[in-house]
Structure 1
Amino acid sequence: MIEREKLLVELESLSEEKFRIFNEKIVHTSKYRVIGVRMPDLKAIAKEHRADYKEIFELPYDSFEEIIIKGVAVGFADAPLCEKEPYIIRYAEMIDNWAECDCFCSCIKVKKSEEDDLLRLAEGLMYRKEEFVSRVGTVLMFSKFSDEPTVRKALAIYDRLPSGEYYRDMAVAWGISVYCVRYPQLIVKYLEHSPISIAVKLAAAQKIRDSRRISDEVKRRVTDTVNLQR
């Protein structure tokens, strides 16, 4: 089991001052200090101790890096989803910036037999009123599932989510752009008829234009569809 004092010594030994200053700017919504350790090093530490993810999760913390380690350890832990689910929910409630959210979602691995349960969990988190908890559910949904029924379910949820909170809105826009890669016609029609805010539609259109996996024709149709609603 890792001791917090030893963990902090290791983190300080890996810190880079220029990177700390840079990272503070991009995770500016976090109320915790930034030590300045790069993500590959944080993931390596968390993977090394993922068997003790429950103990790591309960350690005191006061830094962005310690929070990342907790999430990665939970995500990569070789334990059934039913055992990790309470920790996934608690971690989602702990998050206060986009980097913690997106790193955490990318690290969550489940067995094929657990995918339905993960989908249920993601959907429940999407509906939560807290901005970053909802973002976790949104990112989990579009990053882990790409079948058409689930995509349609996600789009229907987007229509019911409140708008106006930047990081949830940007996750929705990101999700729309991801879905557009595989289902361009569906997304064009969705952007034409969805009641989501024009701000979210404009952000989604920009992300679609930035994608290298979407044709110029689809980008033009999306842009025209959204511009007509401005």
Structure 2
Amino acid sequence: MNVKEILSSQAELEYQQFMAKLLPGIPNILGVRLPKLRVIAKQLAKEDWKDYLEHATQDTFEEVMLQGMVIGYVKADFEEIISYIANFIPKINNWSVCDSFCNTLKITNRYPKEMWSFIQPYLKDSKEYHIRFGVVMLLNYYRKEEYVKEALKRMDEIESDAYYVRMGIAWAISMYYVSFPIETMSFLKNNHLDDFTYNKTLQKITESLKIDKETKEMIKTMKR
């Protein structure tokens, strides 16, 4: 499979312009829609995926995105795939690749304890997208009763003023509130979040379609 040729044939100028606005500063965006990338990734994951990942280039945004998706779609044990996950994370340089990569790592559902241990160092990292990777993993896979308090604690301990880290934390905590309002409200009343992240969390809660009007009005009064 000639990946570069396939990606070029699937590119759309209008979508490229749209993505360029969403990802300012990210060069070489072809404009291939995510569903099409997922189709290509699933096919690559069925073939000699190790050879593909070993020789894959990252000349474009889509090529990097594709590598992450292939890693997520591969049918393999945790011990086999975890090194590929670790090697890919340093390639993440924008929220789109980060979030799509995390969303594709369904292997986490099979190995939640192992992945929990794996992501902990990233939550304490200094690199923006290393931390966001950890946060989005908490959002996607650990919004569960047995993890909620510990996950909120981990996010509260993050020390970073990076924009996409703080936005990721706000997004994650707002979703935790939707799923676990009592536990998350207790957290919101006693935390170490900076004012920007805290207020952005409240904003995202009030923007949720799953929160009733009365609760939204109460949340608005909590702004710092």
Q: 2:23 aligns with which of 21, 27, 34?
A: 27
Given residue 168 of structure 1, which amino acid in structure 2 is its aligned partner? V
Residues 188 and 221 of structure 1 are in contact (CA less than 8 Å); yes or no, is this contact kept in structure 2? no
- Per-residue CA deviations over 1:81-129 (Å, capped at 9, x if unaligned) read 1111111122111100000011111111127551111111222322221
**CA 1:56–1:217: 2 relative to 1, 3 Å:** farther
**Who is 2:202 aligned against?**
205
Q: 2:174 aligns with which of 155, 163, 177?
A: 177
**Who is 1:42 aligned against?**
37
Aligned-residue offset at 1:163: 3.0
- Per-residue CA deviations over 1:28-78 (Å, capped at 9, x if unaligned) read 243x41111111111100100114332222212210000111000000100
Give distance in 1, aligned partners of 2:73 and 2:116: 18
Give distance in 1, aligned partners of 2:187 and 2:221: 13
Q: Map of 1:111-130 to 2, 5 A cutoff? A: 113-130=110-127
Where does the alignment leave 5 or more consecutive residues of structure 1 unmatched? none
Given residue 112 of structure 2, which amino acid in structure 1 is its aligned partner? E
Aligned-residue offset at 1:222: 2.3
**CA 1:169–1:217: 2 relative to 1, 3 Å:** same
**CA 1:54–1:11: 2 relative to 1, 3 Å:** same
Moved over 4 A (4+): none
Q: 1:104 aligns with which of 101, 120, 134?
A: 101
Residues 180 and 214 of structure 1 are in contact (CA less than 8 Å); yes or no, is this contact kept in structure 2? no
RMSD: 1.6
Residues 122 and 134 of structure 2 are in contact (CA less than 8 Å); yes or no, is this contact kept in structure 1? yes
Residues 121 and 137 of structure 1 are in contact (CA less than 8 Å); yes or no, is this contact kept in structure 2? no
Q: Map of 1:142-221 to 2, 5 A cutoff? A: 142-221=139-218
User: Is 1:62 the equivalent of 2:34?
Assistant: no
- Per-residue CA deviations over 1:114-162 (Å, capped at 9, x if unaligned) read 1111111222322221110110111011211222341111111122111
**CA 1:45–1:215: 2 relative to 1, 3 Å:** same
Give distance in 1, aligned partners of 2:218 and 2:121: 33
**CA 1:38–1:111: 2 relative to 1, 3 Å:** closer
Give distance in 1, aligned partners of 2:110 and 2:43: 26
Give distance in 1, aligned partners of 2:109 and 2:67: 24
**CA 1:195–1:174: 2 relative to 1, 3 Å:** same
Residues 163 and 196 of structure 1 are in contact (CA less than 8 Å); yes or no, is this contact kept in structure 2? no
Q: Map of 1:63-78 to 2, 5 A cutoff? A: 63-78=60-75
**Who is 2:8 aligned against?**
12
What TM-score do the two structures reach when normalised by structure 1?
0.91
Residues 29 and 97 of structure 1 are in contact (CA less than 8 Å); yes or no, is this contact kept in structure 2? no
- Per-residue CA deviations over 1:154-211 (Å, capped at 9, x if unaligned) read 1111221113100011110011011001211222221121111010011111111111
Where does the alignment leave 5 or more consecutive residues of structure 2 unmatched? none
Aligned-residue offset at 1:221: 2.8
Give distance in 2, aligned partners of 1:109 and 1:76: 8
